[in-house]
Amino acid sequence: MMDGVPVEKLTPERRRQLTRRTLVEAAAQVFAQKGFYGASLEEIGEVAGFSRGAIYSNFGSKEELLFGVLDHYMDVQLDAVLNAMEATGRADLVADAVAATAAWESANRFTSNWPGLALELRLAALRNPEVRKRLADFERKSGDKVARVIEEEWDRRGVRPRVSARDFADLSRAALEGLTQLAAIDEEDSPRYRRLVGELFVLLASAVSGPEDT
């Protein structure tokens, strides 16, 4: 019988990629919860619905799996950042900041175990030179991208900034991540920290144009 639904042909290659993805997502989750050392391949396989065999078939070692998770993380993170940037561009600086914050929020950057994964990967970077290199490259590249967008916006509006767009971007990112972490730890005051994200952007945006500008 012919398939009434456009069933993805599910070629072997496709199937393999699919299990890879499943494994990576499971690994991301378990790494975030238990940490790289604390997580057992057994549990990761179980969460993914596979056995350890699948992991060793698709990745050579636990470390390679970590790299898979890192790549995945960087993809998702970059998407979130670009989406947040796209949310801006119509209103004034402050409103833009608020919109970007909302986009950031909706990208569930505060929920689930995203903060845990981010922390875990930073730690992994601190300990593993290869991870460190890749993560640093990524941060630089995405920082550049964000800075370019900011610059365009400033140009378009004739803003005379007191700091470079790159500095502004990095400062925002650092503060954003610090707040995210604090919110994750202090669950009770988490709403306050989320509010502070908006506050931060308003402060920064108003500061960047200086006392002489509105």
Partner DNA sequence: TCGCCAATATACAGAATCGTATCTAGAAGT
Partner DNA sequence: ACTTCTAGATACGATTCTGTATATTGGCGA
Per CB under 7 A, residues contacting DNA are: 11-12, 15-16, 19, 39-43, 45, 49-54, 56-58, 60-63
Q: What minimum distance in Å lies between the beta carbon of 14 and DNA?
A: 9
Q: Half-sphere exposure (CA, 13 Å, Cβ side) for 103? A: 17
Contact with a copy of itself (CB under 8 A): which of 25, 63, 151, 170?
A: 170
198 near a copy of itself (CB under 8 A)? no
Q: What minimum distance in Å lies between the beta carbon of 200 and a copy of itself?
A: 5
Ranges within 25-64 binding a copy of itself (CB under 8 A): 33-38
Token readout for 42 is 């057994």
204 near a copy of itself (CB under 8 A)? yes
Q: Are 161 and 150 in contact (CB under 8 A)?
A: no
CA 19 – CA 112 distance, rounded (Å): 22
CA 120 – CA 133 distance, rounded (Å): 15
**Residues 8-37, buried b or exposed e (16+ Cβ, 10 A)?**
eeeeeeeeeeebbebbbbbbbbbbbeeebe
At how many degrees (to 10) do helices 62-86 and 114-127 cross?
Answer: 120
**Considering CB distances under 5 to 8 angstroms, the limit depending on partner class, which of a copy of itself, DNA, none binds residue 135?**
a copy of itself
**Considering CB distances under 5 to 8 angstroms, the limit depending on partner class, which of DNA, a copy of itself, none binds residue 105?**
none
User: Which residues of this chain interact with a copy of itself, rule CB under 8 A?
Assistant: 33-38, 113, 115-116, 119-120, 122-123, 125-127, 132, 135-136, 139-140, 162-163, 167, 170-171, 173-179, 181-182, 184-189, 193, 196, 199-200, 203-204, 206-208, 210-211, 213-214
